[in-house]
Amino acid sequence: MITIGLVAANIIGGGFSYVDPKYVGWRLMFGFAAVPAVIQFIGFLFLPESPRWLFEHRGPKECQDVLDRIYNGDNVWVQYELEEIAVTHETQQKELEENGGDGFILGRIWKTPHIRKALIIGSTLQMFQQLCGINTIILKKRDVSLPSIDYSLKCDYANCDRCVTNDKCGFCSVKDQRKNGYCLTVADSNGDRNSKVGYCSKETGNEMHKPFNNETVFEFADVYCHTQFTIFPIILMVVFFTCFSSGFAPIPWVLNSEFYPLWARSTCISIATFTNWIFNLIVSLTFLSLSQAVTRAGTFFIYAIITVIALIFIYFFIPETKGCSIDEVELLFMTKRQRENNLRIRRLTVASFENTSFAGTRKNTALHEPS
């Protein structure tokens, strides 16, 4: 959905770009972003609390009411889930008592080894998601400002599309600073300015450049314009986006929502999300410096190497959660002794529930150890 949202945002932004782009279009692009934000905010007001949260904060009755709506009044499933939630809640309370009370939530997370491990893994996943350079590719804008050239002469590389169809025309840039310059189009009234023997010619000398800057030498930036290989970067980016949208885009968010027990979930997900945005900022702040130091190609090779490291990390440290319930996922980060202790507590808890109102639907719930 995030990827679909980005596509929709670009389509809408492209539409607004035709509405007086200098004074109105860009304002519409920014302003329109408030519309989905307001809709989402209103939607949150009607978002029901989860059954587990209701059980912990408002008691079994409200939890059962929500489960009734979820399972359309199927009493077997309602009692099944209610017992599972009750067992999990009671197990966590007993673990809490054994570990010496609740205290500060961050302190509890840090002192609970398997939660700390899950948080480090979840935050590292979010870090790698940004260090692969995805937002640099999606959001990168070329800075074409050059104080020594009149603002009316500034132009984006996109104008190469209009220039290279004629061999007497091209993107004219400041020598050794090819990110700046302007486009000499065939529509220009001055024939000399449309020619490689005109303003961009090395043979003309500085006199021809006086309208722009007395000390500046210009040259044609042919490498930035169309070639027969222009399509290949586009194809590779499509492949990259396709793989990213089905893998690295959703997986860190999904796994972080599964890794943590209820008492730590909101705090741990907040920390992981903070990690995501911090590394988003780091990539944004370092991209231009890296591009100048090791070129753009070198920068993206660095991102590629980091992505390979991420693949190795995922292979060795991310447990398989398929077939595990939310409560069983927590066991995957425990040592063997911790799992045995947790299962012992759960068995005792289930036994204490056998004669309660929650019992009768099933026995020995969630007592198996995930493989």
**pLDDT tens digits, one per residue of 95-137:** 666 665 556 888 888 888 889 999 999 999 999 999 998 888 7
Q: Is residue 307's pLDDT more than 90?
A: yes
> Is 57 among the domain residues?
no
* Residue 214 parent element (H or E): none
> Is 167 among the domain residues?
yes
In 3D, which of 190, 178, 189 has the Cα closest to residue 220? 178
Given the structure tokens 């500060």, which residue do they identify?
104
Contact in structure between 246 and 2 (CB atoms under 8 Å)? no
> Is 190 among the domain residues?
yes
> Is 352 among the domain residues?
no
Confidence of residue 150 (pLDDT cuts 50, 70, 90): very low
Retrieve residue 95's tokens: 């673990």
In 3D, which of 160, 307, 303 has the Cα closest to residue 226? 160
> Is 102 among the domain residues?
no
**Residue 121: what residue type?**
I
Q: What is the pLDDT of residue 90?
A: 78
Q: With helix as H, strand as E and coil as C, how does 74-120 read?
A: CHHHHHHHHHHHHHHHHHHHHHHHHCCCCCCHHHHHHHCHHHHHHHH
SS3 state at 37: helix
Q: What is the pLDDT of residue 16?
A: 84
CA atoms of 239 and 351, how far apart (whole Å) = 53
pLDDT in tens, 64-97: 888 888 888 888 888 888 888 887 777 777 766 6
For 11-25, 118-132, 180-194, which range has the lowest pLDDT when averaged over its residues? 180-194
Q: What is the pTM of this model?
A: 0.64
For 3-17, 27-41, 257-271, which range has the lowest pLDDT when averaged over its residues? 3-17
CA atoms of 238 and 261, how far apart (whole Å) = 37
For 56-60, 86-90, 180-184, 288-292, which range has the lowest pLDDT when averaged over its residues? 180-184
SS3 state at 142: coil
State the angle between helix axes of 51-58 and 75-98 in degrees (0 to 180), rounded to the nearest 10.
Answer: 60
> Is 12 among the domain residues?
no
Confidence of residue 162 (pLDDT cuts 50, 70, 90): very low
DSSP state of 229: T
Confidence of residue 358 (pLDDT cuts 50, 70, 90): low
Q: Is residue 168's pLDDT more than 80?
A: no
> Between residues 305 and 183, which one has the greater pLDDT?
305
Q: Is residue 366's pLDDT more than 60?
A: no
CA atoms of 79 and 1, how far apart (whole Å) = 33
Given the structure tokens 């519409």, which residue do they identify?
28
Average pLDDT value for the chain: 73
SS3 state at 371: coil
> Is 212 among the domain residues?
yes
Contact in structure between 283 and 130 (CB atoms under 8 Å)? yes
SS3 state at 181: strand
> Is 214 among the domain residues?
yes
Domain count for the chain: 1
Task: Pick from 89-98, 210-219, 286-295 the range whose average pLDDT is largest.
Answer: 286-295
| Domain span at 182 | 151-224
Task: Pick from 155-169, 232-246, 252-266, 269-283 the range whose average pLDDT is largest.
Answer: 269-283
Q: What is the pLDDT of residue 44?
A: 86
CA atoms of 122 and 41, how far apart (whole Å) = 26
In 3D, which of 41, 40, 62 has the Cα closest to residue 53? 62
Retrieve residue 178's tokens: 């090819």
For 5-9, 39-43, 169-173, 345-349, which range has the lowest pLDDT when averaged over its residues? 169-173
State the angle between helix axes of 113-131 and 262-317 in degrees (0 to 180), rounded to the nearest 10.
Answer: 60
